Amino acid sequence: MKKILLTGVNGQVGHALAAQLQQQPIAQVQLISCTRQQLDLSQPVHIRQVIRQVKPDLIINPAAYTAVDQAETERELAFAINATAPQIIAEEAARVNAALIHFSTDYVYDGSKATAYLETDAVNPVSVYGASKLAGEQAIAAVGLPHLILRTSWVYGSYGKNFLKTIIRLAQSREQLRIVADQHGAPTADIAIAEAVAQLIERWHPHNAEQTGIYHLVNRGETTWYGFASEIVAQYQALALQQGWPALLLKALQAISTAEYPTPARRPQNSRLVSNKLEQVFGVRLPGWDTSLAQVMPALSALEN
């Protein structure tokens, strides 16, 4: 893989991937990173033009429509970016003999399973966002090119808008926060995703058809949004003492149910994904979610203060 085309470089995962691949470049690889302006996934003609011009050996596509609630009223746009665009990317990748790494989501499941989801479990999205991402997966598979579809969950980092940064911001200005405690999953750091993908690039053999397919890629362990928020606050407070950062105004976190925090889009109550297949096939093992949080937190805290 001599030339890699990376989409969505201004997004959380795209930004982390660009930093990772530039910091630890794979031998003799040229990385072409594209912003939305440089590769607009809502414009099919633009997608085809860019891929035909670049002629990459590998396309990495973390770009997506991720406004989960807004997608309920913007179904056409969500499907254009999350379903139609991946199909076109796959078609053009096949045309230039490129492989494809594409990112998907835990939202392809309905969350009704009692235990963690395997890649072989039945999908049943309960939101427009989830349905659009599933359609993208299916479109890529139908093209039949060498591909890895990486389903991840609860993505956060020090860059962009996410739950981690929201909790810190609110904890700096409010004495009490109400956080959903009956949705379960694994917070997954953008840097953990980027490190795993860098390993995949080195270990994946696209000509090996047995490696093509869907993989879960999440930090190990599980928690709830309430548990995640509690750990964020605890780690921030420990760093604040060490580094002399301002204390949080927050005095209490209150656990609430999903019913007490209604949203336009329904969320899976169980978003737990098993990543064993990724480890078995490629030897890629992500750290525990709290470990990755500890790696992200110093950069976030410095940024916020």
Over residues 54-96, the pLDDT tens digits come to 999 999 999 999 999 999 999 999 999 999 999 999 999 999 9
pLDDT digits (tens, 9 = 90+) for 123-182: 999 999 999 999 999 999 999 999 999 999 999 999 989 999 999 999 999 999 999 999
Q: Residue 246 above 70 pLDDT?
A: yes
- Model confidence at 243, in pLDDT bands (50, 70, 90)? confident
Of 107, 109, 117, 129, the active-site residue reads 129
- Model confidence at 6, in pLDDT bands (50, 70, 90)? very high
Query: Which range marks the domain in which residue 146 is found?
Result: 3-161+188-222+272-287
Active site residue 129: yes
Instruction: Provide the pLDDT for residue 84.
Output: 98
**Closest-CA residue to 153 (of 268, 256, 65):** 268
Cα–Cα distance, 226 to 204 (Å, whole number): 37
| Residue 237 belongs to some domain of the structure | no
| Residue 68 belongs to some domain of the structure | yes
Structural domain count of the chain = 1
Which stretches of the chain are assigned E, i.e. beta strand?
3-6, 30-33, 58-61, 99-105, 147-152, 155-156, 176-180, 184-185, 188-189, 213-216, 223-224, 252-256
Asked if residues 192 and 292 have their Cβ atoms less than 8 Å apart, the reply is: yes
| Residue 248 belongs to some domain of the structure | no
Q: What is the CATH number of the domain that holds 113?
A: 3.40.50.720
pTM for the predicted model, two decimal places: 0.95
| Residue 238 belongs to some domain of the structure | no
| Residue 18 belongs to some domain of the structure | yes
pLDDT digits (tens, 9 = 90+) for 99-121: 999 999 999 999 999 999 999 99
Q: What percent of the chain has pLDDT over 90?
A: 90
Comparing 266 with 303, the larger pLDDT belongs to 266
Instruction: Provide the pLDDT for residue 244.
Output: 83
| Residue 51 belongs to some domain of the structure | yes
State the average pLDDT over residues 259-285.
97
| Residue 245 belongs to some domain of the structure | no
* DSSP classification of residue 261: S
Cα–Cα distance, 265 to 258 (Å, whole number): 12
Instruction: Provide the pLDDT for residue 139.
Output: 98
Instruction: Provide the pLDDT for residue 299.
Output: 85
Instruction: Provide the pLDDT for residue 23.
Output: 79
Cα–Cα distance, 295 to 297 (Å, whole number): 6
| Residue 149 belongs to some domain of the structure | yes
